[in-house]
Amino acid sequence: MTREIIEHFSAAHAEPAWLAALRLAAFNKIDELALPVIERVKFHRWNLGDGTLAENEAIGHVPDFTALGDNPKLVQVGSQTVLEQLPAELVEAGVIFTDLYSALDEIPELIEKYFAKAIPFDENKLAAYNNAYFNATAVLYVPDNLEIDVPIEGLYYQDGSSAAPFNKRVLIIAGKNSKFTYLERFETINPSDTKVSANIAVEVIAQEGSQVKFAAIDRLGEQVTTFMSRRGHLLADAQIDWALGVMNEGNVVADFDSDLVGNGSHANLKAVAVSSGRQVQGIDTRVTNYGSHSVGHILQHGVILERGTLTFNGIGHIIRGAKGADAQQESRVLMLSDKARSDANPILLIDENEVTAGHAASIGQVDPEDMYYLMSRGLDQATAERLVVRGFLGAVITEIPVKAVRDEMIQVLEEKLLKR
């Protein structure tokens, strides 16, 4: 990859000068920066980017979208948009949900202001890589004081038949005092033996007083090695409720962060993850309290099957000056195999007095008393075990706003358990 290729890509897509300059600045930083630190996860030899800007030239089999309903949604396969659906009343209210280049025609100043605001391009090597090489984009903008009572869905498919890297960039801007629910899905279609990397960066800018319910289910395929970064940037009295289901088949390192910049901001993150086969997953979940009286809570539950590996790092950091802040976290892992490996690492960094902070972590197997109770009621061991696991993960699954997606998550879990 050369500087000239990046310049050609920017010119071919008519990128504004500031964005072209950002790409080049990130490109120049890649070799200088270190990989992100994911404690107790050895991923330094993974292929997390081969330095190309290839796009999908053609799309293989595309899923049937006729049963998706009529709520707002954007469907993309690789770098191509295949469906945009936004009711007329939301268009008239100023809502935008489209690819980056179309959004730049409508809200160029806002995109320039907030692009790379939550995830700075020079934060680490993989952040710089995404900023230099992103080849698929989406932008959601909800104007000030607008409440939307139906979920907004982003469906982002990685085409398994394509060798193009899946370098995705999503920017969500919640206007002041806006309120909405966003459901995000990353999934591999047309699976094949083609090995590819994915570098996904999702930024959520929650302006003053906004309320965002953010739900996601990730189902990238076995041949996809993924770095996933989701980051919230919360201003005064803003709130993001995260509900994340990490159900990928391939190796994954993920960074789920909330920066509580404004006073009174609030982030509540619930995540579930399932590791199976020889899969390795490392998940960093961090809340950083900058604002006074800001609140950040983390709840992580994971299940490990076969020879899978799962690491949860829960990080609460209260910055000096954040008086009255609250940082709580809980990480629990259920191991269904004696060959599985797991870590649950609570980390609290407290730089201020007059704050509240706490953590809990546990790793264990299915409670024999639970199994005995269920089997005494006539259930076989496998069915009883599946019910225990479903209950263990239920705290997050119930937060997914669309019933069909909740059912899908349960189905994926059932399939993984039945394959044991």
Query: How confident is the model over 295-335, as pLDDT tens digits?
Result: 999 999 999 999 999 999 999 999 999 999 999 999 999 99
DSSP string over 20-71: HHHHHHHHHHTTTSPPP--TT---TTS----S-----SS--S----TTS-SS
Mean pLDDT (whole number) for 33-54: 87
In the chain, what percentage of residues exceed pLDDT 70? 96
What is the structure's pLDDT at 135?
A: 92
pLDDT score of 342 more than 70: yes
Tell me how many degrees the CA angle 299-303-309 measures, rounded to the nearest 5. Answer: 105
pLDDT tens, position by position, 228-270: 999 999 999 999 999 999 999 999 999 999 999 999 999 999 9
What is the structure's pLDDT at 129?
A: 95
What is the structure's pLDDT at 90?
A: 97
What is the structure's pLDDT at 418?
A: 77
What is the structure's pLDDT at 56?
A: 61
What is the structure's pLDDT at 58?
A: 58
> Confidence class of residue 52 from pLDDT cuts 50, 70 and 90?
confident
Write down the residue that tokens 């990397």 correspond to. Answer: 197
Tell me how many degrees the CA angle 187-190-194 measures, rounded to the nearest 5. Answer: 95
pLDDT score of 383 more than 90: no
Lowest mean pLDDT among 39-48, 222-231, 283-292, 383-392: 383-392
pLDDT score of 151 more than 90: yes
What is the structure's pLDDT at 62?
A: 63
Q: Is-contact 75 82, C-beta < 8 A? A: yes
Radius of gyration of the chain (CA): 21
Q: CA 326: distance to chain centroid? A: 23
Both tokens of 13, joined, read 């897509």
Mean pLDDT (whole number) for 360-388: 88
Tell me, what DSSP letter sits at residue 295?
A: E
Mean pLDDT (whole number) for 153-164: 93
Q: In this structure, how many other beta carbons lie within 10 angstroms of the beta carbon of residue 26?
A: 23
Domain residue extents for the chain: 3-367
- pTM score of the predicted model: 0.95
What is the structure's pLDDT at 419?
A: 73
